[in-house]
């Protein structure tokens, strides 16, 4: 069974604060993704990566940076957090090499910016 682990599971920060969300996958997958989930929008892709050192821009990248340090580890960085970034964040991984690939999600990190 694929495993994607996110930390922390909950985080509260102040406006203008610096936050790093962490994600580790043990599936040996090439692709990793960061999504945010908001009511009325479903999940929206922030950034993704197809390997260590690689970064691709998703659909809602503004205000976010990401870094893929190893095949297993993918980080999402909010350097000047704003209340509009209060959301539930999901990390995911996939093989990406085959058509119809399944994407495996972590349990999410709930971020509140006050």
Partner 1 sequence: GNSVTQMQGQVTLSEEEFLFINCTYSTTGYPTLFWYVQYPGEGPQLLLKVTTANNKGSSRGFEATYDKGTTSFHLQKASVQESDSAVYYCVLGRGSALGRLHFGAGTQLIVIP
Query: Which residues contact partner 1 by CB under 8 A?
Result: 4, 31, 33, 40-45, 48, 50, 56, 58-59, 90, 92-94, 96, 99-108
Q: State the minimum distance, in angstroms, from the CB of residue 80 to partner 1.
A: 27
Residue 83, helix vs strand vs coil:
helix
Whichever of 62 and 98 has its CB closer to partner 1, that residue is 98
Q: State the minimum distance, in angstroms, from the CB of residue 50 to partner 1.
A: 6
Whichever of 31 and 64 has its CB closer to partner 1, that residue is 31
Q: State the minimum distance, in angstroms, from the CB of residue 59 to partner 1.
A: 8
Instruction: Give the integer Cα–Cα distance in Å for 108 and 23.
Output: 10
Buried b (16+ CB within 10 A) or exposed e, 12-24: ebeeeeebebebb
Q: Which of 72, 2, 4 is nearest to 35 (CA)?
A: 4
Residue with tokens 């990190």: 109
Whichever of 17 and 58 has its CB closer to partner 1, that residue is 58
């Amino acid at each position: 069974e694929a495993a994607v682990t996110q930390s922390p599971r909950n985080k509260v920060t102040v406006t203008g604060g610096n936050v790093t969300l962490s994600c580790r996958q043990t599936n040996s997958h090439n692709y990793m993704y960061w999504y945010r989930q908001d009511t009325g929008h479903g999940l929206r892709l922030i950034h993704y990566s197809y390997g260590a050192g690689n970064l691709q821009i998703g659909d809602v990248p503004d205000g976010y940076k990401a870094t893929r340090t190893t095949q297993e580890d993918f980080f999402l960085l909010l350097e000047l957090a704003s209340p509009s970034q209060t959301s539930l964040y999901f990390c995911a991984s996939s093989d990406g090499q085959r058509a119809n690939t399944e994407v495996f999600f972590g349990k999410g990190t709930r971020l509140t910016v006050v």
